[in-house]
C-alpha cells in the first residue's frame, strides 16, 4: 500500500505542476503601463520686424531670410506635432 500512496502522490504533484504551468502560460505577462511624459508646449512669441528695418538689406538677402524662416517654422511644427503625439497632448494649431 505504501508504493501505491507514493505513486498517487507523484501523480497528484505532476497534475498540480501541469495545471500551474498551464495557468501561467494562459495568463502570461501583464502589459506594463506606458507612462506618458507631462509636456507643456507653448509657442514662443517671436519678435516682429518692420519693413523699415529690412530696407538696408538686399532683395536676395531678404529672400534667403524668408526661406530660412519658413523652413524653421515648418520644422518647429513637425517637432511640435511629434511631441504632441508622443505625449498625447490634446490641442494643436
Question: Using one digit for the tens of pLDDT, what is the confidence trace for 16-47?
Answer: 999 888 888 777 666 666 666 666 777 888 88
Confidence (pTM): 0.48
Residue 87 buriedness (CB in 10 A; 0-12 / 13-18 / 19+): middle
The better pLDDT of the pair 71, 7 is held by: 71
The better pLDDT of the pair 66, 23 is held by 66
Higher pLDDT, 75 or 36: 75
Report CA 81 to chain centroid distance, whole Å.
12
Amino acid at each position: 500500500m505504501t508504493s501505491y500512496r507514493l505513486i498517487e502522490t507523484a501523480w497528484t504533484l505532476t497534475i498540480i505542476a501541469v495545471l500551474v504551468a498551464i495557468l501561467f502560460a494562459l495568463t502570461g505577462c501583464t502589459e506594463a503601463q506606458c507612462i506618458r511624459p507631462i509636456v507643456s508646449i507653448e509657442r514662443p512669441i517671436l519678435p516682429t520686424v518692420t519693413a523699415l528695418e529690412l530696407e538696408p538689406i538686399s532683395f536676395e538677402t531678404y529672400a534667403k531670410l524668408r526661406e530660412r524662416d519658413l523652413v524653421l517654422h515648418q520644422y518647429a511644427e513637425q517637432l511640435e506635432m511629434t511631441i504632441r503625439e508622443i505625449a498625447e497632448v490634446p490641442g494643436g494649431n
